[in-house]
């Protein structure tokens, strides 16, 4: 059964002549990693904000566990590209911050924060200051913080977009490990084709003006990585290359159609 369901969603910003998204239907099932890939302006962030409850749809229905989504909620944890960590708090303070606001007692919230830091391979970093961390480590703190609230789904808005290429690959691998360890369903948006193909168990391609789903693909490269195959072996597999080229061709064909 779908945990998160979008049925024929459209969205339009006040005063805009055109809708930003039209007729978006998708399901996120348990243990899935759904990736939305699209060029700038195709409405990726809007789609994530609709699911997060930051923006309301102009038509259609969004539900989580069968209940309509009407605003933000702790059962949807969000990780942003530039994770706004609190500079005056140490690492564990940042991860436990939401739990503190929710009134969870100190011993319990610190125990949970420690577990989440271990999950993202940051055990031993609890008392570090935020300014002592690299970009990739900050993103891991952001993931640990989102998971600490025990959300039903994790929503990720271009989470690795600001990282250098090497760190970005490391973070993709870390995300797949976290995904395997927690079985947490993930919805992630990106404009990086290789990242999308590597991570997704289901990939949706978004086209702009107005944003809509132009193709859906079921993929298993991320599952293969999570099951122990090396990232290098997967990314040099002819099937991976073929899929990446197919997606690239779709994106270019769409761009050509638009400029014709
Ligand atoms: N709050 C807003 N008010 C009005 N228009 C907006 C708002 N947010 C986004 N838009 C418009 O909606 C369209 C889609 O934006 P959105 O950020 O969802 O796309 P995106 O695919 O995430 O793009 P990018 O990859 O550049 O972040 C753009 O034309 C943008 O100008």
Q: What is the mean pLDDT of residues 189-218?
A: 95
Q: What is the mean pLDDT of residues 64-76?
A: 92
**Ligand 1: residue whose CA is nearest its atom 24:** 40
Residue 163 has pLDDT above 80, yes or no: yes
The residues spanned by each domain of the chain are: 4-75+154-259, 83-150
**Ligand 1: residue whose CA is nearest its atom 26:** 40
Residue 1 has pLDDT above 70, yes or no: no
Residue 74 has pLDDT above 90, yes or no: no
Whether omega before 210 lies within 30 degrees of 0, making that bond cis, reads yes
**Ligand 1: residue whose CA is nearest its atom 16:** 43
Q: What is the mean pLDDT of residues 117-136?
A: 92
- For ligand 1, what atom is nearest to the CA of residue 47? 18
| pTM given for the model | 0.94
d(CA 59, ligand 1 centre) in Å:
18
- Percent of the chain clearing pLDDT 70 (strictly above): 99
Residue 168: which of 195, 145, 150 has the closest Cα?
195
- Structure-token pair, residue 63: 């539900």
Q: What is the mean pLDDT of residues 214-220?
A: 96
Residue 49 beta carbon below 6 angstroms from any ligand 1 atom? no
Q: Which CATH architecture has domain 4-75+154-259?
A: 3-Layer(aba) Sandwich (3.40)
Instruction: Let me know: does 192 contact 43? Beta carbons within 8 Å.
Output: no
């Amino acid at each position: 059964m779908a945990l998160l369901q979008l049925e024929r969603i459209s969205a339009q910003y006040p005063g805009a002549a055109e809708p930003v998204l039209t007729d978006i239907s998708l399901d996120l099932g348990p243990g899935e990693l759904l990736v939305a890939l699209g060029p700038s302006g195709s409405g990726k962030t809007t789609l994530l904000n609709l699911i997060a409850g930051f923006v309301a749809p102009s038509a259609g229905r969004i539900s989580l566990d069968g209940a309509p989504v009407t605003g933000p909620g702790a059962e949807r944890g969000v990780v942003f590209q530039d994770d706004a960590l609190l500079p005056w708090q140490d690492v564990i303070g940042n991860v436990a911050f939401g739990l503190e606001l929710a009134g969870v007692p100190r011993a319990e919230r610190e125990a949970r924060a420690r577990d989440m830091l271990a999950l993202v391979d940051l055990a031993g970093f609890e008392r570090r200051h935020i300014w002592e961390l690299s970009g990739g480590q900050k993103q891991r703190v952001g993931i640990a913080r989102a998971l600490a609230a025990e959300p039903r789904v994790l929503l990720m808005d271009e989470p690795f977009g600001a990282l250098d290429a090497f760190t970005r690959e490391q973070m993709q691998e870390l995300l797949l490990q976290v995904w395997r360890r927690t079985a947490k369903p993930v919805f992630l948006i990106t404009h990086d084709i290789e990242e999308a193909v590597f991570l997704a168990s289901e990939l949706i391609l978004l086209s702009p003006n107005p944003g809509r789903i132009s193709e859906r693909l079921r993929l298993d490269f991320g599952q293969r990585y999570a099951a122990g195959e090396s990232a290098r072996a997967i990314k040099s597999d002819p099937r991976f290359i073929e899929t990446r080229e197919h997606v690239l061709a779709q994106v270019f064909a769409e761009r050509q159609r638009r400029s014709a």
